[in-house]
Chains A and B, each alone.
Chain A
Amino acid sequence: MRHGRGTLFLGLGITLVVLFGILAGPFITPFSPEEMDFVNVLTPPDASHWLGTDSFGRDVLSRVLSGGRISLFISACGVAAGAVLGTALGMGAAWRGGTVEAGLMALSDLLFAFSSFVLALFLMVVLGFGLQNVIVAIGLTYLPVFARLARNLTRALMHEPFVQAARLIGLPPWRILAFEILPNILSTLMVQASIGVAFGIVIEAGLSFLGLGVQPPTPSLGVILADGREYFQRAPWVLTLAGAAVSVMLLGLNLLGDGLRDLADPRLRRAAGP
């Protein structure tokens, strides 16, 4: 019990701090993420530049904060698109049943068989590199995840008395799905989404790190890390500290997801330990 709460609050705390940092970043950091300073090139971390500066003398902390905003935006948009579409498809499929359901589940099985990063990389080639297409690739990667989850959850609820009652009083199917079933499965979907956003950030960072995702000069986290790789031997702090910042962000989201899951499912809480 206490373990679940502790995880949840720790995750919530870290996530809130990170959110505050990346949202208020432009107003609280004394440096602009794009401002170059050729006198202070590749300076190690000190009192004025907490994470040092990069090869153009730009403040790494300011860049990480604004990159965090971009990466979080990309990941959240992608996961949101995948979640909304996937949930709609999954719920609809569960309701209709028959061939529609079988076909949709076969398609989601198919997308499941691909490694999500390999699938995202493949989609980037098909769609072309760039920020919008990273969002589309993350969305398409998550679509089957949410479709399958929503379908399974909906199926489990379809024969519950309250759904039968809603049917008997003649509510149209979309109202039953949206107002009777959706509120009951939303918590599970939200848990999946918060873990999804964390992994979406990893996908974005990985793609952009390889040069196949967001393109410079847009400072997403992956672009900053790829940048730090160029002069890793001379200035290892850019890559290591920027990456550590990414880890903290992911840690917050993962702990939040774990805590929410423990809260939503008491059975898991017991299995997961004290």
Chain B
Amino acid sequence: MSKLLQVENLSTTFYTEDGMVPAVRGVSFHLDYGESLGIVGESGCGKSVSCLSVMRLIPKPGEMTADNIDFEGKDIVSLRERQMQQIRGNDMAMIFQEPMTSFNPVFTIGYQLQEAIRLHQKMNKHDAKEKSIDMLRQVGIPRPEKVVDNYPHSLSGGMRQRAMIAMAISCQPKIIFADEPTTALDVTIQAQILELIGELKEQTNTSVVFISHDLGVIAEMVERVIVMYSGIIVEQSDISSLFSNPKHPYTIGLLHSKPRIDDERAKLKPIPGSVPNPLDLPQGCPYNPRCEYVMDICRNKLPDMYEIDKNLHQARCWLYA
């Protein structure tokens, strides 16, 4: 597999009335062709902002900087807005968490699908409509020729998320960013949507970046995982060693916070305290106030990513220095 996307030292900062909020602080990762990558972390850890930054969708007064974001030989950071528009939607697409708010309520589903199709593919109105019906059928929406003229409010949450996926895949993108695509859905509907995303990925060999706070969903959907905390990557690994051999104390803490299916009465071991305020980050490793293995050096200096298993598994923790 070769690299489709390479992100180096990405930082995104928001300027608020209360001060500077460093949402993402020096994040580097890559994505191969046809790969599925998971980004896991709790709210505010910077997982969504990282992806929005790669798509250059950070609104002002937010600011994004990076040494390099290479997408198939193009440097995303230095592209003009017009060129970026060509990439967005066409080569990279996004599936948002809340399908209720991510559709425009005053236009029909079909109109919004056709808008995306016609913007990126030279097609007349009639063909675009045909294509949008076809896309809706592909994502398993019953009676697509009817639904295409429906407004978003008349669809259920699961159906709306299917329509969202139809829109995302309508231009055969190379990367799909799925930002908590099932968080707002019920378990049985979540199972439907996860199966659909998995199937579509198989068929089209699209690369998927799967953002979630749910380790279970991540375990089922991806090959490789990035764990984020307070705007930095704390651990990076292939899926099986992350769950069998987690290294960073935060990852270990997260895993102990969820009840295990195999071990019924294993006590939950929560992480004490809460996520640090981004306006007032602790010195050194951001996890140090909650970490049970904390050492003096953790309070002074942010550790590098240390290799656990060459090229497969890295952790940002002084324990492995």
Partners in one complex: no
User: Which residues of A are in contact with B by a Cβ distance under 8 Å?
Assistant: none
User: Which residues of B are in contact with A by a Cβ distance under 8 Å?
Assistant: none
